[in-house]
Amino acid sequence: MTRLISTGKIAITLLLPLQLWGENFSQIAHQITNSLQYKLQKEQIELYRQRLKEVESKKWGRLEGEYRAVRLFQTPILKFETQAPVGVVNGKIIYAPVQTQVEMGKKELFTGIIRYSYPLFTGFALSNSIKKSQLELIRERLKLSNLKRQLLLKAGELYSSIYRIKAEIWALEKAKKALASARSQARSLFREGLIDRASLDGVTAKYYQITASIKGKKAEKRALLNLLSYLLNRQITEIGGIEIKRVTFHPNFQNRPDVKIVKEELKIADTQIKLAKSNYYPQIGLEIGLKREGENLWLTKNSYQNLDHSYVAVAIKYPLWTGGGRKAQLEEAKVGKIARLLFYRDYLKKVETDYNNTHAQLEALYAQLRAVKAEIRARKSYYRTIWGKFREGLSDSSDLNGAIAQLAEARAKLEGLKAQIFFLTLKLKLDGGEPINGNF
């Protein structure tokens, strides 16, 4: 009766389904925005938002004030030369040059001005600069969305790897328990003279080998949990289970944020061409200044000229010759757009190719899953048969060790396939531009 109970316990330890407790992937995915990488990219968006405001401010012109106090080393003077009569010779008046100096100001000079300048025409450079900044802000927002996609993929990869290792640990621990019972049974059979010493030592060696494997797997699991904790910027001590089910995919690669980023780069390249063309237009600016110059700090006195020097000015600037620089800049912008267009086409093909390859891998994994389930059923039957023979002394320890190892390996392989299927399903959803909606 004791042997039958022991046999039943060993069978249960190997045949019970895997039980896992911890944070499931939905909980982890909802916390992905806590990542420091995500927060850093959000700050990058704010940087570009402020940059856009800076560029947009130029369309309103510029109002500035200036106050200047100057002390000259010498008093400013006006020098002029006149002809003064110095005598008469033969009835003619003789003139000689006379140098005259007149003080024209004080050593202290104070100037105050309130100036408003406005770009009347910039060759469309200002409007295109604003457009470029707007597109760059959109691109940075898309980068945030793409970063979230990448973080979800990385978290999913780590989660599935941790689950796979946890399943391997579970299978090894079940095998260890079975070997512990088998070792105890082998000792009894050895004392009764039903098996030799080599068979007993073989069971013992296998027991310690599995114990060492468990320690190695636990260390690997801890390392992956640390990586997941780093990714989420919070401590993750355990993960939950995995549920897999067949889903129908509806890929739309144009919805992928990384593809949208490349499209925005194309638009930016177009504005770069327009900015280069603006160099072929004149720059026209208006400036209005309220200006006073005086001899005191309060600008209320000027003994030599008028206090008010206010003005209105219009300036036109046009580069007559740039040594071929304008043309080179325009050609560079055009080539840049062509390069980005080619990159966009190549990137789209690569995205589609990678997606199709991943889909093929997923289908292959489902085929392997069916095969492994059948293998587990066979391993269970074989294990029961070998255990019964071993209990009666009709089979040696190597056969039992092999049966235990094969069943544990098959169970770990099943959970490993489930982990891969889970990750590839998530990857196909994200790589296909499909909404996740919190369903994992």
pLDDT at 272: 95
Asked if pLDDT for residue 302 goes beyond 50, the answer is yes
- Domains in the chain: ranges and CATH: 2-30+123-282+324-431 (1.20.1600.10)
Within 10 angstroms of residue 116's Cβ, the number of other Cβ atoms is 13
Q: What is the pLDDT of residues 326-384, one digit of tens each?
A: 999 999 999 999 999 999 999 999 999 999 999 999 999 999 999 999 999 998 898 88
Query: Rounded to an integer, what distance in angstroms lies between the CA atom of residue 205 and that of residue 84?
Result: 129
* Percentage, residues of the chain above pLDDT 70: 93
Within 10 angstroms of residue 164's Cβ, the number of other Cβ atoms is 24
Q: Which residue has the higher pLDDT, 214 or 16?
A: 214
Confidence of residue 85 (pLDDT cuts 50, 70, 90): confident
Q: Work out the angle between the directed axes of helices 397-431 and 125-191 (0-180°, nearest 10).
A: 170
Indicate the DSSP class of residue 308.
B
N- to C-terminal Cα separation, the chain: 47
Asked if pLDDT for residue 103 goes beyond 60, the answer is yes
Is 419 within 8 Å of 362 (Cβ atoms)? no
Beta carbons within 8 Å of 169's beta carbon, 6+ residues apart: 214, 217, 218, 221
Q: What is the pLDDT of residues 228-265, one digit of tens each?
A: 999 999 999 999 888 888 889 999 999 999 999 999 99
Taking 3-state DSSP, the helix, strand and coil percentages for the chain, each rounded to the nearest 5, stand at 65, 15, 20
Q: Shortest CA distance to 425 belongs to which of 439, 406, 410?
A: 439
Asked if pLDDT for residue 68 goes beyond 90, the answer is yes
